[in-house]
Amino acid sequence: MLEIFYKNKGQVATTSELISLDQLGYDDVLWIDLWSPTGEEKRAIETYLNTTIQSRAQAEEIESSSRYSENETTIFANTNFLIPGPDNYSMEAVSFILCEGIIVTIRNVPLRSFTDIQRKLMANYRMMPTGYHILVGILENRIDLDADMIELMSKEIAQYSKTVSLGGAVNEEFLLEITQLQENTMLVRENIVDKQRMISSIMKSDKFPRDVFTKLNILMRDVSSLINHTNFSFERLEYLQNTVIGLINLEQNKLMRIFTFVSLLLMPPTLIASIYGMNVDLPIIGGIYDFVLLIFVMLISVALASLLFRAKRRRGNR
């Protein structure tokens, strides 16, 4: 799908017709948004701007030269947009091409940042008179959304920490949830660092208008603070994970201690029962009260063993 935003009598109009490019000059077009474009749409834009549109594989490469590059007439930039899900997050590659003051965006999913900027552009395009301003606006909006996601994750981490501190249910499922939250935090940090690299490359370019650099400096400071925040969140999750693992180990140790104690208590009566279960002549055999006497001896052995363990525990506590 294709949507073209162009200036028309002091306002911004849109069209989805490729044939409209034949009547529009470079000074008229502001933004060409390609959403899951067809081969025909890609070729039409390449012909119109006399450039090449990168493939999805190229957009997903992590080399610096693949993330941002420019020549005499065109700037190519690629970055990832984080898509939040019910349980985990995913990355979606987005490509930007700036040529003759026109911005071309290539994406495969709906993105809120694009919708918000398109709405602002339709309301007052003079706030974003060129593709360069539109790109900075998209990054600004996206970083705000990333900050909101980080804030929500911080609240979620605080809730997990509160559950642990109040002695809530801590089990393997709880530990897996913390691990998933760690994975999401790493994805958020990777996403923010990617934006930092892109903004840094833009600030080194001489093609962008000078009036956008104030916003770019603010974005760099915002990105740096978000990176610090994600680092703190990850460290907090790591500490929380170690605490949960320690609590789970303590619970397991308590169970093992109980089983060990019961086994040791039952060892003397088991020994007595084994001895009197042998098919040989033994003392105290033949009387009517032999069974009761043996049970009494077993109970005495259990009591003595229990007193012995308690006495040793008290000495150990001292």
Q: Which residues on adjacent β-strands are paired with residue 95?
A: 78, 106
State which amino acid sits at residue 125.
Answer: Y
Going 17 to 56 to 145 to 196, the CA torsion angle's sign is negative
Crossing angle for the helix pair 172-203 and 131-165, to the nearest 10 degrees: 160
In contact, 212 and 136? CB cutoff 8 Å: yes
In contact, 82 and 95? CB cutoff 8 Å: no
Instruction: Give me the CATH code for the 2-248 domain, please.
Output: 3.30.460.20
Per-residue buried b or exposed e for 286-316, using 16+ beta carbons within 10 Å of the residue's own CB: eeeeeeeebeeebeebbeebeeeeeeeeeee
Q: Give the Cα separation of 133 and 235 in Å (integer).
A: 36
In contact, 194 and 92? CB cutoff 8 Å: no
Q: Give the Cα separation of 147 and 236 in Å (integer).
A: 18
Q: Write the CA distances from 213 to 25, 147, 199, 203, integer angstroms.
A: 27, 21, 10, 7
Q: How does DSSP classify residue 14?
A: E
Tens digits of residue pLDDT in 53-98: 877 676 666 565 567 888 888 899 888 888 887 777 888 888 999 9
SS3 at position 75: strand
User: What token pair was written down for 197?
Assistant: 């690299």
Crossing angle for the helix pair 213-275 and 131-165, to the nearest 10 degrees: 30
Q: How many CB atoms lie within 10 A of CB 54?
A: 20
- What pLDDT does 12 receive? 85
User: What token pair was written down for 82?
Assistant: 């984080």
The pLDDT profile of the chain, 318 residues, written as one tens digit per residue, is: 888 888 887 788 888 888 888 788 888 889 999 988 888 888 888 888 888 887 767 666 656 556 788 888 889 988 888 888 777 788 888 899 998 888 999 988 888 889 899 998 888 888 888 889 999 999 999 999 989 888 888 888 888 888 887 777 777 788 888 888 888 888 888 889 889 988 998 898 888 888 889 999 999 999 999 999 989 888 888 888 888 887 777 777 877 877 777 777 777 777 777 766 665 455 666 666 666 776 777 788 778 877 777 777 676 555
Q: Write the CA distances from 258 to 134, 189, 306, 313, integer angstroms.
A: 67, 45, 12, 14
Sorted by where each begins, the domain ranges of the chain are: 2-248, 255-317
Q: Give the Cα separation of 24 and 188 in Å (integer).
A: 40
Q: Which helix (H) or strand (E) holds 138?
A: helix 131-165
